[in-house]
Amino acid sequence: MNYGAIGVTIGHEITHGFDDEGSQYDKDGKLRMWWQPEDWVRFREKGQCIIDQYGNFTDELAGMKLNGINTQGENVADNGGLKESYRSLGNVLSRSPLLMIIPTFLNCFIGSSSSLGMAMSAEMGQFL
C-alpha cells in the first residue's frame, strides 16, 4: 500500500468535504447551516489557526506572502490528507508486527512519496 502519495491524495480529497466551502453543505449536498452553533464556532477557530499559520509563509524568491484566507481550503485538505494517511499507516503498523521493523523507512517514505507525488502533479499542471 502506498500511504505517501495515494493515501495523502485520497485523504486530501475527502477532507475537502470539511474545508471552508465543503463544510457549508449538509449530508444531502444542500447548502445550509447544519452545524450546532458551538461546533461552528470551534470549527471557525480552527480554520483561523490554519489561515494564520499559512498567512505567515513567505516565498523569498518572489518576495510575496501567502494569503492564508485564499488558500484555506487547500491548506485544510493538505493537512487533513497527510494526517489521515499517517493515522492509517499507524493503524496498519500496530496490527502488523513484521512491518514494525522498518518504521523509520516508512516514515521517510511517507514524506518523500507525498512530496514527490505533489511535486509531480504540480509539474504536470494537475491538482491532487
pLDDT 10s digits, 51-89: 999 999 999 999 999 999 999 999 999 999 999 988 888
CB-based contact 10:81 (threshold 8 Å): yes
* Among 4, 2, 36, 21, CA closest to 74: 21
Residue 71: phi, psi to the nearest 5? -105, 10
Tell me which residues are annotated as active site.
13, 78
Is residue 99 over pLDDT 90? no
Of 67, 63, 42, 41, give the one whose Cα is nearest residue 52. Answer: 67
Q: What's the rounded mean pLDDT across residues 2-21?
A: 86
pLDDT for 108 equals 52
Could you tell me the pTM of the whole model?
0.70
How confident is the model at residue 126, as a pLDDT? 39
**Do the beta carbons of residue 56 and residue 77 sit within 8 Å?**
no
Domains and CATH numbers, the chain: 5-123 (3.40.390.10)
